[in-house]
Structure formats: C-alpha cells, structure tokens
C-alpha cells in the first residue's frame, strides 16, 4: 500500500477544503490528514478518494463524504483515551480517523461482507479497534457500555433507546435522524434520565437497516 507525496498533497488540499467548509477542530483535521483515504477504495478510484464526496463500496453501501466524517467526529467532541462506539463500520475509514485521534473504538457492522473485509483490512494497515462486531447496531454493545461517544453512520428512522442508555453521563450520541433526509442530531447525557438535544443541519445517508430490511 503506497502513500506517496502526490497522495499526501491531495489529502492536504482536501483538509484545506474541509477547513473552508467550517470544520474547526484541528485534531479532527489532523486525523483526516493522516488517514490515506485512497486505501479504503478500490485502486481504480484514486481520483475519487480526495474529493469531498461519498463513494460506493461493496454491498450497496458507501464510504461517507469526508466533510460528513469530519463533522460527525467534531460533534462527538472526543479526546484521546475516550471510548467510542461506531454503528456502521463500512469501509473502516471513520474508524481509522477516530483511532488517529487516540480514541478506543468499538465498531459494529450489519453486512457480513463489509464486516469481514474491514476486520482483515484495518489491522493489516495498522489500525486496531478495541472490538469489531458483526451485528445489529440498533442494540449497541451493552456488554462494553458505557461510552463517551456513540456515532451512527447510517440514517436512523428513529433514535434507538439502547444507544441513549449506553452513554456515560456527559457522553454524546451523534446520529442522523430521518428517512429520506436526515437531521444530524446530538444527544448529550446530562444525568441518568436527562438528555440535551441539538440539531446540526440536513444530510443524506444510506439507511440504518433493521430487522425487516
Ligand atoms: N462509517 C463507514 C465508513 O467510514 O466507511 C460508512 C458507513 S456507510 C455510510 C453505513 C454503514 O452502516 C454501512 O456499512 C451499513 O452496512 C451499516 N449499517 C446499516 N444498518 C446497520 C445496523 N443496523 N447495524 C450496523 N451497521 C449497519
């Protein structure tokens, strides 16, 4: 796997464009600058790796747009050492960005093909999540809860209660909520029973799949 000066130059331009679009957390921008996004896509698609667009991977799924990855990571407000659950491993790119920030990542994927691919690929390129699980993200990972942050990388038709229950006090759930179009929503756990909700604009994700689809 190569990461040449050309790749690094393209990545730097991408990071500059994310800064112009309003990403201000330098730790997030630095992490994006370090992860070779072209490794997460087939080799023929280099031209697509460093433009700010989502791109098809296997199993009808996508690697999220870099801006979306940056914004969701920024909204998590994580620091090194935090424990984060990601719902929707997909290509493993978001997971790698979190690992570059020193976060302990637990990640769940519902499509076996993607789970297998990411489980082999991430360690091969030096990224080691705490736990990679093949399963249903609606349920979270109660056996490893509570988490400082939970990030859902697919469009959720509703907010799964188990995910709220698995946050630490002060922890944040970043979740795009909606069917066709989603509102990026952050729930911050204020106490055992209280959550503060904020909204952060419209996005379009592939759906968070449930039991019936
Ligand atoms: N985070 C990924 C990345 O960096 O490439 C992007 C993922 S893609 C936009 C959404 C992912 O969520 C897909 O891989 C999809 O299979 C997965 N997914 C959908 N429903 C799920 C569920 N119920 N539990 C876990 N993963 C799910």
Residue 45 lies in a domain: no
Encode 64-81: b = buried (16+ Cβ within 10 Å), e = exposed.
Answer: bbbbbbbbbbbbbbbeee
Average pLDDT over residues 98-119: 97
Q: Pocket of ligand 1, candidates 90, 134, 151, 211: which has the most ligand atoms within 8 Å of its Cβ, to mutate? A: 90
The pLDDT confidence band at residue 212, using thresholds 50, 70 and 90, is low
CB 73 within 8 A of CB 99: no
CATH of the domain at 97: 3.40.50.150
Of all protein residues, the one whose alpha carbon is nearest to atom 17 of ligand 1 is: 88
Give this prediction's pTM.
Answer: 0.97
Residue 139 C-alpha to ligand 1 middle, in angstroms? 14
Q: In degrees, to the nearest 5, what angle opens at C-alpha 42 toward C-alphas 41 and 46?
A: 75
Overall domain count for the chain:
1
Domain-embedded: residue 180: yes
Asked whether residue 2 is domain-assigned, the answer is no
The pLDDT of 157-169, averaged and rounded, is: 98
Percent of the chain with pLDDT over 70: 99
Give the active site residue among 64, 80, 91, 119.
64
> Cα(29) to centroid of ligand 1, in Å?
22
**Residues 21, 3: Cα–Cα separation, whole Å:** 25
Question: Does residue 24 lie within any of the structural domains?
Answer: no
Q: Encoding tokens for residue 23?
A: 């990403």
Is position 64 annotated as part of the catalytic site? yes
Within-domain flag for 142: yes
- Going by alpha carbons, the residue nearest to atom 12 of ligand 1 is 88
CA 90 to centroid of ligand 1, rounded, Å: 5
The answer as to whether 20 is a domain residue is: no
Task: Give the residue numbers spanning the domain of 65.
Answer: 53-203
Q: How many CB atoms lie within 10 A of CB 27?
A: 15
Question: What is d(CA 91, CA 175) in angstroms, rounded to the nearest whole number?
Answer: 18
Residue 178 is assigned to a structural domain of this protein: yes
In DSSP terms, which residues pair with 92 in a beta bridge? none
**Is 188 domain-assigned?**
yes
Residue-wise pLDDT tens digits, 166-204: 999 999 999 999 999 999 999 999 999 999 999 999 999
Pocket around ligand 1: residues whose beta carbon is below 6 Å from it?
61-64, 87-88, 90-91, 93-94, 108-111, 114, 136-138, 153-154, 205-206, 208-209
């Amino acid at each position: 796997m190569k990461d040449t000066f050309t790749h690094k130059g393209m990545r730097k331009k991408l990071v500059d464009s994310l800064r112009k679009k309003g990403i201000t957390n330098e730790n997030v921008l630095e992490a994006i600058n370090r992860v070779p996004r072209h490794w997460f896509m087939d080799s023929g698609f280099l031209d697509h790796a460093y433009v700010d667009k989502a791109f098809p991977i296997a199993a009808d799924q996508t690697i999220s747009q870099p801006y979306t990855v940056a914004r969701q990571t920024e909204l998590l407000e994580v620091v090194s050492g935090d424990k984060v659950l990601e719902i929707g491993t997909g290509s493993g790119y978001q997971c790698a960005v979190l690992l570059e920030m020193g976060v302990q990542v637990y990640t769940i994927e519902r499509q076996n093909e993607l789970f297998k691919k990411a489980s082999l690929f991430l360690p091969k390129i030096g990224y080691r999540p705490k736990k990679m699980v093949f399963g249903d993200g609606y349920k979270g990972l109660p056996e490893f809860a509570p988490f400082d942050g939970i990030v859902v990388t697919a469009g959720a038709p509703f907010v799964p209660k188990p995910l709220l229950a698995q946050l630490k006090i002060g922890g944040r759930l970043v979740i795009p909520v909606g069917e066709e179009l989603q509102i990026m929503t952050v729930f911050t756990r204020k106490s055992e029973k209280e959550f503060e909700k904020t909204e952060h604009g419209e996005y379009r994700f592939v759906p968070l799949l449930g039991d019936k689809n």
